[in-house]
Structure 1
């Protein structure tokens, strides 16, 4: 079944500071907002999904050599299941392919493994924990990303 697409979604690059409220609300609501910040946020590429000028999805990509790492990917709960996250991730894939990166990876919460597998990503390594939440590393060669 093809993914649902949200008809009013626009995606653009944003400043890292704009990501914090969505990251905080979705990923770590019981921690202070600063817990949702990444040490090198200023060096990342940050993508935002907007519906009617409201930021509803954020994703940050950090580059090291020919590798790209997805971090702090979050969609507001009321917009989950509507194709918003899929569309934002697809925009990131297009960016990675154009920029000629070779490898894409992320630390995925175990609850999201199925989501990433839909894009061809595979689990690499063993389960680990961040603040008592179970994660696995998931990765894919950029050439194998869906179009």
Structure 2
């Protein structure tokens, strides 16, 4: 695989990937969430093409991952893993103590590889099962 360039991007850059991967049958506006204007958005580029996006929303000393998506033809190539590793490295250099997300139940093992543990019972959002997951960064 060619080298991966991970950097911060704008919400305008992130939205089309979110829409295509996460909610292709909904309007693109469905892929916007409260806080997008102040969140940190990350993108992974291969040959200058944006192929993976993730957004981090800060609340005091807690970081929440939302809207994490990799284009289908790039899935299974560790691109998403590299993005999470990059984000966790950035967060460990900040005053953030906790990293959390609402993970699709189908992605549970992916997040467990980064030390996240599930909490509580599965819940539904728009017909998809999720689990709350988190890890201490300290």
- Which runs of structure 2 are paired with 1:54-93 in the superposition (5 Å)? 54-93=49-88
- Structure 1's unaligned 5+ residue stretches are 1-5
**Residue by residue, what CA displacement relative to the aligned partner does 1:51-74 show, whole Å, maximum 9, x if unpaired?**
011100000000000000000000
Structure-2 residue corresponding to 1:120: 115
Matched with 1:3 is: none
Task: Note the C-alpha offset of 1:7.
Answer: 4.1
Deviation at 1:142, TM superposition (A): 1.0
Question: Which of structure 1's runs of 4+ aligned residues deviate more than 3 A?
Answer: none
Q: Tell me by how many angstroms 1:8 deviates.
A: 1.4
Matches of 1:63 and 1:57 in 2, distance apart? 20
TM-score norm. by structure 2 comes to 0.97
CA RMSD of aligned residues (A): 0.8
CA shift, 1:120, in A, is 0.9
In structure 1, the residue corresponding to 2:37 is in which secondary structure?
helix
TM-score by length of 1: 0.91
Aligned residues: 138
Distance 1:123 1:91 in 2: 21
* Matched position secondary structure for 2:33: coil
